[in-house]
Chain A
Amino acid sequence: MSSGTYLEPADPTSHSAAERLQVAGLYSPSDAVLSVRDLNVRFNSENGVVHAVRGVDFDLMPGKTLGIVGESGSGKSVTSLAIMGLLPPTAEIAGSVRLLGKELLGLNDKAMCAYRGNDIAMVFQDPLSSLTPVFTVGAQITEALTIHNPTMSKQAKEARAVELLAMVGIPSPKDRLKAFPHEFSGGMRQRVMIAIAIANNPRVLIADEPTTALDVTIQAQVLEVLHTAQEETGAAVVMITHDLGVVAGIADDIMVMYAGRPVETGQVDDIYYDPRMPYTMGLLGAVPRVDVAEKTSLVPIEGIPPNLIYTPTGCSFAPRCPLVTDACRDGEPELLPAGGQPGHKAACIKSDALGSDADVLEIFSAPPVPVSRFDAIPRGERATVLELRDVRKHFPLTKGALLKRRIGTVKAVDGLSFDIREGECFSIVGESGSGKTTTLLEIMEFHKDQDGEVVIGGLSNKEATTGKARSAMRRELQMVFQDPTGALDPRFTVYEVLAEPLQNAGLDKQAIRKRIMELMKLVGLQPDHVNRFPNQFSGGQRQRVGIARALAVNPKLVVLDEPVSALDVSVQAGVINLLDQLRAELGLSYLMVAHDLSVVRHISNRVAVMYLGKIVEIGEVDRVFDNPRHPYTRALLSAIPVPDPQLERTRERIILQGDLPSPLDAPKGCNFATRCPVFAALPAAKQEKCLTLEPPLESVPASAAAQTLESGRVPPADQQFACFFPDGELAEDMLVVHETAEPHAP
C-alpha cells in the first residue's frame, strides 16, 4: 500500500496523485468510511519548503477507532487538518482522501463545507480557545445544526442542542445553553466541543489531542464522553495523541508517525506487545508506568527529529536509532508487513529481527538505575533538608465597588506539614487548583510574615530576617521551572545564564568559567555550546540548562515544578534519567510538583496527594500507589491511562463527577465529599459524619499495613490518609469498565 512517490517532488500539474494511483490499480473498493492514500503536505516556510506529511495511507472502518501516535512535529495534526480541508491555502496537498467513496482533496472550500461538520467532524486540542468567546454555547451548537439543516425549526434545534449537551454530561443543559464559554471550565468546554462535533451524527470523528490540556480526572471524563458519543452516533474515530496510554484502551488500530511518515501500523495489541520498529519500541519504553513498582531506567531516545525541509536520504530515524547500520542510511525503508499479524507493518529493515524477545532497555542502552548513597540509610536517620509546619496561604476574596466586602477566603494552602530528608525525592500531586504550585511558591518566598513555619537546612523563615540569612537559604534551595523556554532570559547566552547565580555567590571569573564547564558536562550538554542562545537549543536541552543553573551553587534541595510536562515523550525520558542520576551522584533532595502520576511514581520516594489545599494522603510512593486508601487517590490513579491495551480494556475506572469545586465553596466537613465515590454510596447516617467532621490525617493502622505486605515483615507504616471510610463501597454510577472489546490477538 505504501508508495515510493514521496521521494520525487510532487507534480500536481501533469497528473493528480489520485489519478496516478488509480492507474496503478491501488484503489480497491472497500467499505472503509475514510480512506487516505499517499497523502503529502508541503508548506512554504522562511527557510524553505517543509514536507510535513509524506505518504500517509490508512483505511478507517465504520465504528472503529484509529489511534495516530507521534510526537510534536510528526505530522499527525497536519494529516487531520488536511483531511478536513482546514489547512491554509498556501499548503500544497497531494494524494487522495475518500470519505464514503467520494474524493475530498481538490474540493474547494465551499464544496468541502457540505461534508465538514456533517459527515466528518473534528474536536480540537485546546478547548479554551476553540469556542468563540462572544457567542453563547447554545448559539454555537445550533449554528452547527443550522448549517446542515437549514429547514430545521428553531424549537427542534433547541431541543437537539439540549439533548446534545445532556449526552456529553453537562448538568442542567437547558439553562446552560445561554451560558458563554468563559463561564465553563476547560473540561466542560471540551464537552461542548464534542457536542458540536457530533451534532449532525458524523460518520467520522477526528479528535486531535482532545485531552492534552486537561487534568487526568477530567481527561478520564472526556474520554468517557467521547466513548459515549461514538456509541451513540456509530462514528468511526481518528484519535490523535502523543500519549500511548490514552489510545491503548480505546483504539482498534494504531498508526505511529515519525517525521511526517507512518513508521509502524497495526492492530493495537500488535503495536504494544510486538513492536517492530525501534522508534515505537523507544516510545513504549520511554513512558514510565504508574502501575509498575519495579524500578528500571527509562528508555532515552537521544537526538531530535529531523528537519523536514531536507528530503531524507535514508531512514529518518537513523540518526537517533541505536541499531543503525550503513544500510539504514541507504534509502528510506518502506512500510512492509512485519510480525506476521494481518495489517501489522513497519518501516524498518530490521523489523524481522526485533521480535518480542528484544529487550528495549538493552537496545537503547538505558543507563543502570542509579543508587544514591543515602538509599541504604533508613529515612529516620537522615538529616532533614526541608520542613513545613502548618503552612497556610489564604487569599481574601473581596467584592464590591467602593467599599470592598470580604465575601470569603480562598484557602489555597490550608495547614500543610511535611518534611524532606537528604537524598529523597518528595512529590506533590493533585489536580490544577489543588494548591500544589502555591505550596512551592510559599517555600520559595521564605519570609517571616508567612503563616506557618518553613525550615530550610535548619534555617527557619521566622528567624531569617537579615539579607544574609536569606541568601544563605538561597544557596540551599534552587528551582527548576516547568517551561524551559520561559525560564531562560532569551537575551542571555547559556554562559550568562549559568554565570548569574555564580556571580551572585561572589565567585571570581576563573572559578565561574571552571564551574560552568563542569555544569555543562554534568547535565550532558556539549561544553562548547556555552555561547549559544536558548532558542538555539531543543526543549530538552533547554531544560538541561535550567537544571544546570539550579545546580550551579550546589544546593541541597532542588524544587522541580512540573519539570518534564512541557517536553516530548522521548525527550522526557532523558531528562527524568538525568534527574535520577543527579540525585544519586550529588546526594540531592527533590521537591517535585507534577500532574503526571507515572513520572511521580518513577522518580519519587515519597508522595503527597493534595486536594483543595490539604494533603489527603501521604506516604511512601509504592505504598500509596499500590494500596491507595483515600478515595481521591484511588480515583486519580484509576484515571491514569496505562500503555497496556489488555489491562486498559478490563480495568475498572473511577470517573469523578464534575470539576474541582472552587476553593471558595469548600464544604465544612470533608472537602472531597462533593465528588467522593465512597460518600455517594454511603448510607445517610454515615454521610452525616463526612459532612460535619473534617477527617484528620492518620496513619494506616499497623494491622492493615501488615496485611497488605505478603512478605510478613512489618515495616514502619509510612502512609497517612484523611478519610473516615477508606474501605467503603464505591458508587456504581462512578465506575466504568469497558469489557466490550475482545483482544485482537487470536
Chain B
Amino acid sequence: MTNLNAVDPAAVAQDAHLESADVIIGKSTIIFRRFMRNRTAVAGLLIFLGLTLFSFVGGYLTPWDKETIDPFNIAMPPSAEHYLGTSQAGIDLFAMTVEGTRISILIGLIVGLVSVLIAAVYGCTMAYFGGKVDKVMLFVLEALIMMPALLVVAVATSGGGDGLKKNLPSWLLLIIVLLVFSWMGTARLIRSLSMSLMQRDFVKAAQYMGVPPRRIVWRHLVPNIGSLLVLDITRGVTGAILAEVAFSFIGIGIKVPDVSLGVLIGGATSQVQTFPWMFWVPLTVMFLLTGSLAMMNDGLRDAFDPSSSSAGKAKKKNSVKEPAK
C-alpha cells in the first residue's frame, strides 16, 4: 500500500505498544548495545551503508556514465565491459543503477529526516499550546490527511507552464511534494505522546519546580520521545523510497532524463520477458534498500522495547545453565 496518507495499522499497533510499555530505558548506550547484539539489524545497517557507499563511489568503477550512448552495445546482457548490460538506448545499466540508487537514497533520507523534523515541531507545538491552537492545527492536519497525495504529486510533477517546475529537477520537486504529505501521521502520534508525557509526574515535578517550559520540552519531552523519532525516521525513509518507486513506476514521479530506481524499474517493464536483467537488477537493489531498512527498524524496535523477544535468547541460555549450578 504505497499511499502516503494511509496510516499503516501495523505501525500504529506497534507505536501504541511502545507507548504503553514505557519505551524509556536507561541510556542510549544500552540501546546501542542491544541493537548491535541483533544480527539481523546489524546486517541491515551494513547493507544500507554498503549501498550508500556504492551509490556515491560506484560511478568511478566504470568508464561509462548515465548519459553516454554505446552505439555498439544496445540492449546487451551483462558483460565485462558493461557489468550489468546496457539499455535499449545503449546506456550502461551499471552507471544508471548507481545514479538511480543515489537519487532514491537521497529522496529517502531527506524526506525521512525532514518529515520527522516537521512532525516533531508540529506535534510538540500542538501538545504544548493545546486549546484553540491545537484544534486549528489538528484540523489542518486532518485535512491534509484527506488529500489524496498521489493526485497532488501527479499534478505537481506533470503540470505545464509553471516556472517553478522548469527550474527544479523532477527529483527535488518530488521530494517537496512527498514532504508535504508524509509527516501527518507522525505528527499526530507525537502530539498524543507528548500530551501523555505532559501529564506524567516527572514533567509536573519540573513545572512545580519552576523550570521554564522551553527547558522542560528540551530536557524531558524530546529525550522521552526520542525512540519514537528514530523509529519513525527509518520508517519514513522506507516509505519515501517506496513512494518514489511507485510514483515513478507509473510515470508520475521522477521524469527522464533524471534517473531513479523507480524510473529504471518502470522503464524496463515492457521488456521484462526479453531483457529481464533491465528489470530485475534495479528491483533487486530496491529490495536490498527497503529490506535493509526494515531489518534495521526491527532491530531498533527490539532495542528500544525492554520486553521484546531479544530477551528470549538469554532465557534459553540461562535455563540451560541452571542445572549445572
Contact = CB atoms under 8 A, between A and B. Distances in A.
Direct contact of A and B (CB under 8 A): yes
Interface of A: 9, 44-49, 444, 470-471, 474-475, 477-479, 481-483, 486-491, 500-501, 504, 533, 535-536, 546, 549, 553
B315 A487 contact: no
Interface string B226-239: 00000000000000
A538 B200 CA distance: 20
Interface in B167-206: 200-202, 204-206
B160 interface: no
B interface bracket (residues with beta carbon within 8 Å of A): 20 to 34
A47 B25 CA distance: 17
A174 B71 CA distance: 90
B322 A48 contact: yes
B209 interface: yes
A483 B224 contact: no
Contacts of B161: none
Contacts of A487: 201-202, 204-205
Contacts of B211: 500-501, 504
A554 to B, nearest CB: 13
Contacts of A44: 315, 318-319
B201 to A, nearest CB: 4
Contacts of A474: 208-210
A483 B201 contact: yes
Interface of B: 22, 24-27, 200-202, 204-206, 208-211, 219-220, 223-224, 311, 314-315, 318-319, 321-323
A490 B27 CA distance: 9
Nearest to B321: A48
Given A46-B318, A549-B209, 5 more contacts: A9-B322, A481-B204, A483-B201, A489-B202, A489-B224
Contacts of B22: 490
Q: Is the interface of A mostly helix, strand, loop or mixed?
A: mixed
B200 A486 contact: yes
B189 to A, nearest CB: 19
Given A9-B323, A487-B201, A490-B26, A46 B209 contact: no
Contact of A46 (B201, B204, B315, B322): B315
B318 A501 contact: no
Contact of A535 (B26, B209, B219): B26
B272 to A, nearest CB: 49
Nearest to A475: B210
Given A474-B208, A478-B208, A504-B209, A46 B314 contact: yes
A549 B205 contact: yes
A487 B323 CA distance: 41
User: Which of B22, B204, B205 counts the most chain A CB atoms within 10 A?
Assistant: B205
Given A46-B311, A533-B27, A500 B201 contact: no
12 contacts: A9-B322, A44-B315, A45-B315, A46-B318, A49-B319, A471-B210, A486-B202, A491-B24, A491-B223, A491-B224, A500-B219, A549-B205
A92 to B, nearest CB: 10
Contacts, number: 77
Contacts of B223: 491
User: Which of A45, A491, A536 counts the most chain B CB atoms within 10 A?
Assistant: A491
A481 B209 contact: no
Contacts of B219: 489, 500
Contacts of A46: 311, 314-315, 318
Nearest to A549: B205
The 3 closest A-B pairs by CB, nearest first: A474-B210, A487-B201, A490-B24
A180 B223 CA distance: 40
A504 B210 contact: yes
Contacts of B27: 491, 533
A40 B205 CA distance: 44
Nearest to B313: A46
Contacts of A481: 201, 204-205
Contacts of B202: 486-489
Given A487-B202, A490-B26, A491-B24, A478 B209 contact: yes
Nearest to A11: B323
B24 A479 contact: no
A444 B201 contact: no
A253 B301 CA distance: 49
A489 B24 CA distance: 9
Contacts of B321: 48
A474 B223 CA distance: 25
A491 B209 CA distance: 18
A49 B319 CA distance: 7
Contacts of B26: 490-491, 533, 535-536
B203 to A, nearest CB: 8
A103 to B, nearest CB: 27
A470 B201 contact: no
A479 B321 CA distance: 47
A595 to B, nearest CB: 18
A478 B208 CA distance: 7
A549 B206 CA distance: 10
B208 A479 contact: yes
Contacts of B220: 489
A489 B225 CA distance: 12
A475 to B, nearest CB: 8
B30 to A, nearest CB: 10
Given A49-B318, A491-B224, A533-B27, A486 B201 contact: yes
User: Which of B22, B208, B224, B314 counts the most chain A CB atoms within 10 A?
Assistant: B208
A200 B201 CA distance: 45
A471 B25 CA distance: 32
A500 B209 contact: yes
Nearest to A497: B202
Nearest to B209: A501
User: Which of A46, A47, A535 counts the most chain B CB atoms within 10 A?
Assistant: A46
A47 B318 contact: yes
Contacts of B200: 486
Nearest to A488: B202
B77 to A, nearest CB: 53
A479 B205 contact: yes
A701 to B, nearest CB: 41
Contacts of A546: 205
B281 to A, nearest CB: 44
A318 B197 CA distance: 41
B63 to A, nearest CB: 53
Nearest to B210: A474
Nearest to A501: B209
Contacts of B318: 44, 46-49
Contacts of B315: 44-46
B150 to A, nearest CB: 33
A260 to B, nearest CB: 16
B180 to A, nearest CB: 31
Nearest to B205: A487
Given A486-B200, A489-B220, A490-B26, A49 B322 contact: yes
A483 B199 CA distance: 13
Contacts of A488: 202
Contacts of B24: 490-491
B114 to A, nearest CB: 26
A159 to B, nearest CB: 41
Contacts of A500: 206, 209, 211, 219
A93 to B, nearest CB: 16
Contacts of A491: 24, 26-27, 223-224
A474 B205 CA distance: 11
Contacts of A471: 210
Nearest to A532: B26
B204 to A, nearest CB: 8
Contacts of A470: 210
B311 to A, nearest CB: 4
